[in-house]
Structure 1
């Protein structure tokens, strides 16, 4: 007889998740800002735009050379950066380059918010993309409630991110915008991640605690 708890699930260790996420954060958030700002200070706007585009396509080429898969999302992101760079070069305004992703963040906030009343929490989709979870676990009422609340939390985080970024973009220099905005967004995101992980661990303890008595109450097979 299968004696696995119906709703049991173990979260991978936090250090494992950090080792998985940290290189992607540095590659996708910190490094592009450093590349753009260094080129902007040394070469001006057009040089910074060329450096930003080269960084993205260089990353794709590196993955291809190493034999790693290049996802369609990464290709679309590269095309988006290219379009933004061309528009910024034509208008001569770095604001144009950063406006689109900021507005995109606002749309992401709206998507997280809309998923709550629809009872299709976007946070659950994001979480299961990173850590596969059993279907029975995801259907548990406490788990569903957790992901609805966390979707609302991330909606507020992205909304605050977008508003702060827009204010910085139109009221501060590009240098201040890049570093202050990146630092604030990183801190805000880290706090939201900490709250999400702590809440998920608490949810796990409750769900797994319910599964253990149910398992203990199951009748044992009679001895032959």
Structure 2
């Protein structure tokens, strides 16, 4: 059985991975689009993701599934957009991806190990015994449902904004809206996980003693 991880370390890991894979490339994309153009914005965001993955791999810090997924999506979007020269394709692809990913989350609820349970080790080390506890299992199912609905909502909001605004307006409005939605869902995830983790004794304090 692995030692209970420190709560502060778990929160720091979650915040760091979201900042690297989601917040930073989004801010870089929006800023570069306003200052330069769409092609430059795509390449800057993609360059950040490639650089972040290469640096973490080279320094042995581990590469999260979130960063891998974000990079894969960015490579596909950028390649297709540069090949076609159609900006609409770049911005509509995330909607399709959101629908697919949301379907994966919601569809995984039919299985004994929902998607949140598969992603959890990226953020918090759990052995089989801890992960199999009924309270933790309920948490995984609840988070899987919540994130499936959040991602589906994100796709719907993105499509509505894309059809209603100009390209620059779309990026300037979408970025804070989606980041706020993601940050809110992440905060709920952390708070919910902490509450369950305390009840289950999954976290420890700085001296290695379980929190309750």
User: TM-score if structure 1 supplies the norm length?
Assistant: 0.71
* CA distance in structure 2 between the aligned counterparts of 1:205 and 1:63, rounded to whole angstroms: 30
Aligned to 2:154: 161
* CA distance in structure 1 between the aligned counterparts of 2:98 and 2:51, rounded to whole angstroms: 25
Answer yes or no: is the 8 Å Cα contact 1:116–1:151 preserved in 2: yes
- Residues 135-167 of structure 1: per-residue CA shift (max 9 Å, x gap): 222222222122112211111111111111111
Structure 1 range deviating more: 38-47 or 189-198:
38-47
Aligned to 1:194: 187
Structure 1 range deviating more: 143-152 or 171-180:
171-180
Aligned to 1:222: none
* CA distance in structure 2 between the aligned counterparts of 1:75 and 1:193, rounded to whole angstroms: 18
* CA distance in structure 2 between the aligned counterparts of 1:164 and 1:37, rounded to whole angstroms: 17
Q: Paired residues, what number?
A: 201
CA deviation after TM superposition for structure 1 residue 91, in Å: 3.3
Match of 1:104 among 93, 97, 101: 97
Answer yes or no: is the 8 Å Cα contact 1:9–1:137 preserved in 2: no
* 1:87 has 2:87 as partner: no
Aligned to 1:43: 36
Aligned to 1:12: 6
CA deviation after TM superposition for structure 1 residue 33, in Å: 2.9
Answer yes or no: is the 8 Å Cα contact 2:114–2:141 preserved in 1: yes
* CA distance in structure 2 between the aligned counterparts of 1:69 and 1:199, rounded to whole angstroms: 26
- Residues 113-133 of structure 1: per-residue CA shift (max 9 Å, x gap): 111122221111111232111
Answer yes or no: is the 8 Å Cα contact 1:119–1:148 preserved in 2: no
Structure 2 residues without counterparts, runs of 5 or longer: 202-212
* CA distance in structure 1 between the aligned counterparts of 2:181 and 2:20, rounded to whole angstroms: 19
Match of 1:175 among 142, 164, 168: 168
* CA distance in structure 2 between the aligned counterparts of 1:11 and 1:59, rounded to whole angstroms: 25
CA deviation after TM superposition for structure 1 residue 110, in Å: 0.9
* CA distance in structure 2 between the aligned counterparts of 1:114 and 1:182, rounded to whole angstroms: 28
Computing the radius of gyration from Cα coordinates, the structure with the larger value is 1
Answer yes or no: is the 8 Å Cα contact 2:17–2:64 preserved in 1: no
* CA distance in structure 2 between the aligned counterparts of 1:205 and 1:72, rounded to whole angstroms: 25
State the Cα RMSD in Å.
3.3
